[in-house]
Amino acid sequence: MTHSSEQEPHPKIISCPICGNSFTCEGSLDCWCASRTVPAALLEELSRRYTTCICPACLDRLRAEHTAG
């Protein structure tokens, strides 16, 4: 997902900008999001809409919706 280039302590707890749920962001290849395959078009859309990562549940839902067409 989108990770800030600024040096921030990790892991950190952040709120999902879509649903508001809290989740852990590792900010590295060790993060849960590194195990998800996100289509390029969806990743571009998410990067334009949000300045922070989204939670696993929202990412999985959006991936499923994107795949379903």
Domain residue ranges of the chain, discontinuous segments joined by + = 12-68
CA distances from 25 to 41, 56, 66, 67 (A): 22, 10, 23, 24
Catalogue the E-assigned strands of 1-67: 12-15, 22-25
pTM: 0.79
> What backbone torsions phi and psi does residue 43 show, to the nearest 5 degrees?
-60, -40
Residue 46 pLDDT:
95
Average model confidence (pLDDT) for the chain? 88
Instruction: Place 9 in a pLDDT band, splitting at 50, 70 and 90.
Output: low
- The band of 7, judged by pLDDT with boundaries at 50, 70 and 90, is low
What pLDDT is attached to residue 51? 92
